[in-house]
A and B are shown apart, each in its own frame.
Chain A
Amino acid sequence: MRVKCLFFAAYRDIFGAEQIDLELPEGSTLGALIEDVRARAGVCAAVLPRQLVVAVNREYAPVETVLRDGDEVALIPPVAGG
């Protein structure tokens, strides 16, 4: 299945992309996606927080979430609105 992964702000700088499409085995969890994505950060992985906040389809979601084809996953850096 194919899942869209979005990067914003500092994470976009780290990953060098606004968006990547990931091919994942059916039944993959959000936790598995995070591991995959961390590996793609290469040497920059060290600057990622140990706890990543992630949204699935525009809702903050736990790592146990089972992903589905077409899901929109977003890595959410610490927020600074206002």
Chain B
Amino acid sequence: MYCIVTRDPIDTAGLLRRVRSDADGAVLIFAGVVRDHHEGRAVEALAYEVYEEMAVEKIEMICKEVASRFEVGELAVAHRVGELTVGDISVVIAVAAPHRDAAYKASREIIERVKGEVPIWKRERYSDGGEVWRDGAVPDVPEAEKP
């Protein structure tokens, strides 16, 4: 298992090589990419911020839980932070598995949980000059303060 948060471009091919083994018939790569629009506004750039120590621990925990539920081999997750522009890869999830079905399911669960639980935030800068912290997901944790 290899989970990192990085300010550098993600080495997607390197992650593929890292998870692949002779026992696996599938390596699935998911890449999240910065797109040029959000809710009708033209997006120019994004700044990702992270609570790094907790984020890495959270991603590792998610991978461990997913690995225990699906028949998969090695997993790797890399999340980029800092300034990104349209077309940049923000996150890569690499899942190796003997068979593709488990790889698809595991990859899907990892990305959904990364988006919903890991302390990472993004500030969007729009072509019209506006800039805003993007609305996010409230981590679905039973520990949240009661209203």
Contact = CB atoms under 8 A, between A and B. Distances in A.
Interface of A: 6, 8-10, 13, 31, 34, 49-55, 58-63, 74, 76-82
What are the 7 tightest A-B residue pairs by CB atom distance, in nearest-first order? A81-B120, A78-B136, A80-B136, A9-B121, A58-B54, A82-B115, A62-B143
B99 interface: no
Question: What is the predominant secondary structure among interface residues of chain B facing chain A?
Answer: mixed
8 contacts: A8-B51, A8-B119, A53-B138, A53-B139, A54-B145, A81-B91, A82-B111, A82-B114
- Count chain A CB atoms within 10 A of each CB in B114, B134, B143 and give the residue with the most: B143
Nearest to A63: B145
A16 to B, nearest CB: 15
Contacts, number: 102
Contact of B51 (A61, A62, A76, A80): A76
